[in-house]
Structure 1
């Protein structure tokens, strides 16, 4: 199939909620185009990857919540085994996504926006692994996520407008990583505060589309910061 046909079939798979197929249709596109994907194609890739792992992430959180209920303690062994199976599935999918981006995209990225976008993506999928990983796997994944997020942040702050949705989304996700994975509320707040302050300073200079995209991420930053600062004060 041609690249155009692969992209079309990926959209068909999206409408059919067949996200593994969607990823498989996009793999040849990634190999062919590398980092030269259009903004729409990058977004399509994000949808494919995120939906591929979202079901597993939700399932893991659900089982973890059930495990906390003492009523079901007698089923602890079976629940742990089932959760472990789903975790392995999540790790395989995330590892596949990270390897694909590293091999076929990041090394070929020629502009800073693409580099920041895909490095952020590596950080995100390392974060998804770190949500439930343990021991050596957790330690390595934390390091990999920090490296990817930090490199993406350096590029974004150097080259992208403070209201750029990639730069703002990166700051949002990096702050969530510090809060949820590193359990560093102070660092999460620092990152969120800086991104929010920088964006608000430039908001009046944005065109309508940038303003609209920025607003939704700004609201998420505000919500997170409100919760995190309350928690920090209570400690």
Structure 2
């Protein structure tokens, strides 16, 4: 097990993220109980890096496709976007299957359950970023379902728990970007911020380091969304 963890770290440093995910899959498959927080963090890093290039590539091609200078190539760009989207969907589903089949059933602590449920919601959301039609409806609904399950599982966690705050951050982004509901996004972000601020004096140094960075992101999003809502009301 330790050798697999070491090799996952080597693959990470080598930027061989498919290999990293394969090592991590072997780790979770070979364990009869939930993995440690350190391995969970490796899962988060490996999975995110596995799809980051495709997410970035899709956005780049979309920007070129929408540029009027290249209108004659728009259909070629659209086909290329579909290819990238298929690769992204395949990798996101790979992550979802690993977490749903191997990690979540072994999670006993609420903190761990929230981590995995949030992660499944995240990867359905990433799939939705490039999806369309019935696939978009399907993955958006799945993202919503798992984010809500994660929210329910987080009820007993401390308000400044980093997984609970990270969930509020990503769930609010889901409402803003996929549901186009800035009011609901603001509601989720504001609730998480207010509850965390009330308990901020109870945090130790490690908790504060993790929590405060997420709190700052929540605050930045909330300020931006409120500003946009104000502009819409003026219009």
Shorter-normalised TM range:
over 0.9
Post-superposition shift, 1:34?
A: 6.1
SS of alignment partner, residue 159 of structure 1: coil
Q: Partner residue of 1:207?
A: 204
Q: Which runs of 4 or more aligned residues in structure 1 lie more than 4 Å from their structure 2 counterparts after TM superposition?
A: none
Contact map agreement 2:66 2:74 (CA 8 A) in 1: no
Q: Structure 2: state its 5+ residue gaps.
A: none
Q: Partner residue of 2:230?
A: 233
1:91 and 2:95 are equivalent in the alignment: no
What is the correspondence of 1:108-187 to structure 2 with a 5 Å cutoff? 108-156=106-154, 158-187=155-184
| RMSD between superposed Cα atoms in Å | 0.9
Q: Partner residue of 2:5?
A: 7
Q: Structure 1: state its 5+ residue gaps.
A: none
1:42 and 2:30 are equivalent in the alignment: no
SS of alignment partner, residue 63 of structure 1: helix
1:219 and 2:216 are equivalent in the alignment: yes
SS of alignment partner, residue 199 of structure 2: helix
1:116–1:50 Cα change, 3 Å:
same
How many positions carry a matched residue from both structures? 232
Q: TM-score, normalised by structure 1?
A: 0.97
Q: TM-score, normalised by structure 2?
A: 0.97
Cα deviations across residues 92-115 of structure 1 (Å, max 9, x unaligned)?
000111011111111221111111
Post-superposition shift, 1:35?
A: 5.7
Contact map agreement 2:4 2:27 (CA 8 A) in 1: yes
Distance 2:135 2:70 in 1: 28
SS of alignment partner, residue 30 of structure 2: helix
